[in-house]
Amino acid sequence: MTAAELAMVLLSALLHASWSASIKGSADPMQFNLLQVVVAAPVCVAILATGEWRLTPGVLPWLAAACIVHALYFYCLSRAYARADLSLVYPIARSTPAFLPVVAMPLLGESLSLVGGLGIAVVVAGIWIVHWGEGRTGRRWLGPGMVFAYLTLLTTVGYAVTDKAVMVRLAATDWPHLLPRALFFFVLLELGAGLLFAPLAWLHGDRKSFGAALRRTAPRAGFAVVVSACSYGLILQALRTAPASYVVAARQTSVLFALGLGALLLGERPTRPRIAGAAATVLGVILIGIAP
């Protein structure tokens, strides 16, 4: 990865951790994510209605798959945050590098250098030190919140592959729209995944208080959408040129940021295992940054 690509990924990690903290800090994570869909949908439709744009047939299947996987991601993440702490869910949900290379190499034709592979391994080790070092009981690991945390992990592996595939295909086509490809893809994702996620959220959320929550929380939800757009736009831009395995591994520094935000905003106290795991994550990112 180049220095510019790594910088984009690190900034994206900070923004993503902030976005996750805002969801966890809400009264109802499922409802808050649905509010984000409601706030963002009119803006997305307006963007799609203005300017010239086109999608090649090769992009459409991957775009559809990306929308489905992202909708499942929002749902599983909401269920996990509703039942478990940010510092417990987040390390599991962001353990994508442990599994992505197995999928990315055959599907995307990527390869890993020895140093890059070592960096990914160190990042994953750091993430799991944070979590397993807490000495949780087996019953806690199999609780409802943890089940959805692991399901969230599966969706992050899935959308890392689909998003990379879409960005590669978009980068190879002429682009007439004023909005950069990465942000335009985010708009398509926000609208497509939101339409799929909304019925799930409506069925499992608090429908009676939704109107009051919309009036009370709309500005906060709108800000969360902006943060998410900036975070994901940076990641998508990096995915245009950098290997997906490296990008996803470097983005796991969000675990470090999540620990800090959990302490500052949610009153969580980082333990020694969490700090040690965060340090290992940073070391792994350095290895990824210097990998050929």
Residue 223's CB: how many other CB atoms inside 10 A? 15
Its pTM stands at 0.81
- For the cut 60, the answer to whether the pLDDT of residue 136 exceeds it is no
Confidence of residue 137 (pLDDT cuts 50, 70, 90): very low
Overall domain count for the chain: 1
Give the list of residues 6+ apart from residue 30 with CB closer than 8 angstroms, or none.
75, 78, 79, 82, 201, 204, 205
Question: What range defines the domain where residue 228 resides?
Answer: 3-290
In terms of average pLDDT, the best of 91-100, 189-198, 217-226 is 189-198
Higher-pLDDT residue of 127, 190 = 190
d(CA 113, CA 288): 10
pLDDT in tens, 32-69: 999 999 999 999 999 888 877 888 888 999 999 999 99
For the chain, what percentages of helix, strand and coil (3-state, to nearest 5) are there?
A: 80, 0, 20
